[in-house]
Amino acid sequence: MEEDHEDGLVELASRGRIFHFGFDRRKTDEDVALGHAPQHSLERTDTRLNDDAGDEVRLEIGVGAHDRETFQLVHGRDATVESLARVAGIVRDHRTEGSVPHPLNRLAPERMLRHRIVLSPELVGAQQLQPVEPPIIRMNVKDEMPCVALGSLPGGVPVVVVCTASIDVDVVAFGADARLRTSPDAELLIATHANNVTPSLHKLAQSLRNPARFVEVSPVRR
């Protein structure tokens, strides 16, 4: 949820739908950007509207299940939109370029990278991009797993961009699965931080029937 549209959360709550990170929890990849600076989304604060208790709809805030429980113990069972905005502000401050090192800006670096290229698709030579579901569900908020964006290159050529922030030997196979799932005829780009592309990964990317291409993006400055 954009910080300028906080009232939308109240509207969603009134409808009684099940949401995770501001998106329908039935979807497997959720990434909702905060603000307009190159930073990562509210996803890591694991904000959800929970209606598991029947007609009751409860807002929960926290980084994973344990943090959500701790938040309730400290702040009470009923979280507020103001609490959500305050937590979002804390996350945003730590995940903005130039912020001091902190656990919040070391978490999910691949999703911070995706958020940056969605805001500035020219970083990977694209015209426009948007987050899409991955081929594999990430089971833990602390797990580093590539994430996916879908869009187009200049001229309207469809493109799938897979983001990873480390030397990942499985990223080419992950990218091939992501392309097959989202847009089989699209170009495949693998965005990663500088110096993460080894000769073996490059060779593997070229071995695909429709070869993939690595694009190196400079990491966020700290």
Mean pLDDT of the chain, nearest integer: 77
pTM: 0.69
Q: What distance in Å separates the CA atoms of residue 81 and residue 113, rounded to the nearest whole number?
A: 27
Task: Give whichever of 21-35, 137-151, 154-168 has the largest mean pLDDT.
Answer: 154-168
- Whose CA is closest to 119, among 38, 215, 12? 38
Strand partners, 131: 149
SS3 112: helix
* Locus of tokens 């958020």: 115
Give the pLDDT of residue 10.
Answer: 35
Q: How far apart are the first and last CA of the chain?
A: 25
Q: pLDDT at residue 47 above 90?
A: no
Kind of pairing between the strands at 58-60 and 48-50: antiparallel
Mean per-residue pLDDT, 133-151: 88
DSSP 157-187: -EEEEEE-SS--TTHHHHHHHHHHHH-TTSE
Q: What distance in Å separates the CA atoms of residue 42 and residue 23, rounded to the nearest whole number?
A: 11
Q: Where are the domains of the chain?
A: 3-98, 108-217
Joined together, the tokens standing for residue 128 give 């426009």
Mean per-residue pLDDT, 125-141: 90
As a CATH number, domain 108-217 is: 3.40.1350
pLDDT tens-digit series, residues 80-128: 788 888 888 888 888 877 788 888 878 889 999 999 999 999 999 999 9
Q: What distance in Å separates the CA atoms of residue 118 and residue 128, rounded to the nearest whole number?
A: 7
Cβ atoms of residues 174 and 135 within 8 Å: yes
Give the pLDDT of residue 14.
Answer: 35
Per-residue CA distances from 189 to 122, 136, 171, 220 (Å)? 13, 18, 11, 20
Q: How many CB atoms lie within 10 A of CB 222?
A: 11
Q: What distance in Å separates the CA atoms of residue 181 and residue 97, rounded to the nearest whole number?
A: 32
**183 confidence band (pLDDT: 50, 70, 90):** very high
Mean per-residue pLDDT, 177-193: 96
Least confident interval from 14-23, 41-50, 101-110: 14-23
Per-residue CA distances from 99 to 94, 96, 136 (Å)? 6, 6, 31
Mean per-residue pLDDT, 158-179: 96
Q: pLDDT at residue 174 above 80?
A: yes
Comparison of pLDDT for 77 and 179, the residue scoring more: 179
